[in-house]
């Protein structure tokens, strides 16, 4: 396939294929294995999230059947408990062992390259701002306080739903976590991992009666600048917006 934008996608797909008897050979240096979690010790503020408490009356297959994208939201806040459930369901810890901690989503090699940055617009008892989800501690780290709706919406190709949502979840990838093991093929797995998180995001939103939509069309580096990440070692790859449904 040739077009005016080049063929880098086609080239990557072909060059990253596994071919029998030609698999890459490299030794894993366990002493240099990247950390599985990112934290911000210099965060402005630490917010402990409520423990995730699940409504046992929610019917699984109803959630599956009713899941859909919602692009218009009420101007009403979601609760801190709902935010806690969304974050835990996206990538919370479920089984912890000395060498690896498994989460609510699968990840190639158990490496978990995806980080979550909630950009809070309208959550009860929580200031507007850019936060980072500390997965290991199930808490929020406040990085920048203020209203960033316009910047995030612009970074999402000027889509209004990112401005009107209660929270914009920006998912980033720390490339080295996966490339340490999978070399250049890691990018395939990183995008798969992001997809797993996106589907959980949709299902949790439906279970909570909230509207949600994911956004893959972003101005990558504009979002990176807002988050304060370099775009090389860590880069934004996906956004999820959520809010109260308009019935």
Weakest mean pLDDT among 85-99, 110-124, 135-149: 85-99
Note whether residue 163 is domain-resident.
yes
Burial of 155 (0-12, 13-18, 19+ CB in 10 A): buried
**CA angle in degrees (0–180, nearest 5) for 198-204-209:** 125
CA 108 to chain centre: 16
Closest CA to 36 of 167, 136, 155: 136
**164 belongs to a structural domain:** yes
In a domain, 115, yes or no: yes
Domain membership of residue 2 (yes or no) is no
Domain of 144, in residue numbers: 59-244
pLDDT given for residue 2 in this prediction: 54
Number of compact structural domains in the chain: 1
DSSP result, 167-194? EEEEEEEEHHHHHHHHGGGHHHHHHHHH
Cα separation, 243 vs 236, whole angstroms: 21
Of 216, 215, 232, residue with least CA distance to 224: 232
Kindly state the tokens that stand for 25: 């050979």
- Give the model's confidence band at 25: pLDDT under 50 very low, under 70 low, under 90 confident, else very high: confident
Residue 82 lies in a domain: yes
pLDDT, one tens digit per residue, over 181-197 is 999 999 999 999 999 99
- What CATH number is given to the structural domain containing 221? 3.40.109.10
CA distance readout (Å), 11 to 8, 16, 184, 202, 233: 5, 8, 12, 32, 22
Sign of CA pseudo-dihedral 128, 132, 138, 139: negative
Q: How far apart are the first and last CA of the chain?
A: 44
Structure tokens at 164: 């009107």
Quick check: 65 and 193 in contact, CB under 8 A?
no
Q: Is residue 177 part of a domain?
A: yes
Give 129's pLDDT tier (boundaries 50, 70, 90): very high
| Interval 65-105: pLDDT, tens | 999 999 999 999 999 999 999 999 999 999 988 878 899 99
Residue 196 lies in a domain: yes
Q: Is residue 1 over pLDDT 60?
A: no
CB 39 within 8 A of CB 134: yes
* φ, ψ dihedrals at 169, nearest 5°: -95, 115
Mean pLDDT of 27-49: 94
Q: HSE (CB half, 13 Å, CA atoms) of 91?
A: 28
Task: Answer yes or no: is 37 within a domain.
Answer: no
């Amino acid at each position: 396939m040739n077009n005016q934008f080049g063929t880098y996608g086609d080239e990557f797909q072909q060059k990253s294929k596994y071919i029998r008897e030609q698999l890459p050979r490299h030794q894993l240096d366990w002493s240099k294995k990247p950390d599985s979690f990112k934290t911000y010790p210099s965060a402005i503020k630490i917010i402990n999230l409520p423990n995730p408490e699940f409504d046992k009356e929610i019917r699984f297959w109803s959630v599956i059947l009713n899941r859909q994208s919602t692009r218009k939201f009420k101007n009403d806040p979601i609760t801190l408990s709902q935010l806690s459930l969304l974050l835990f369901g996206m990538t919370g810890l479920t089984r912890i062992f000395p060498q690896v901690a498994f989460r609510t989503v699968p990840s190639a090699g158990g490496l978990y390259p995806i980080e979550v940055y909630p950009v809070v617009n309208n959550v009860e008892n929580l200031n507007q701002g850019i936060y980072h989800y500390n997965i290991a501690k199930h808490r929020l780290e406040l990085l920048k306080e203020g209203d960033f709706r316009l910047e995030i919406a612009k970074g999402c190709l000027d889509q209004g739903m990112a401005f009107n949502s209660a929270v914009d979840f920006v998912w980033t990838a720390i490339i080295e976590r996966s490339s340490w093991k999978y070399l250049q093929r890691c990018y395939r797995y990183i995008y798969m991992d992001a997809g797993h998180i996106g589907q959980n995001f949709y299902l949790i939103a439906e279970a909570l009666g909230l509207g949600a939509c994911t956004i893959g069309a972003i101005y990558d580096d504009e979002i990176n600048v807002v988050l304060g990440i370099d775009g090389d070692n860590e880069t934004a790859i996906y956004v999820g917006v959520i809010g109260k449904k308009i019935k």
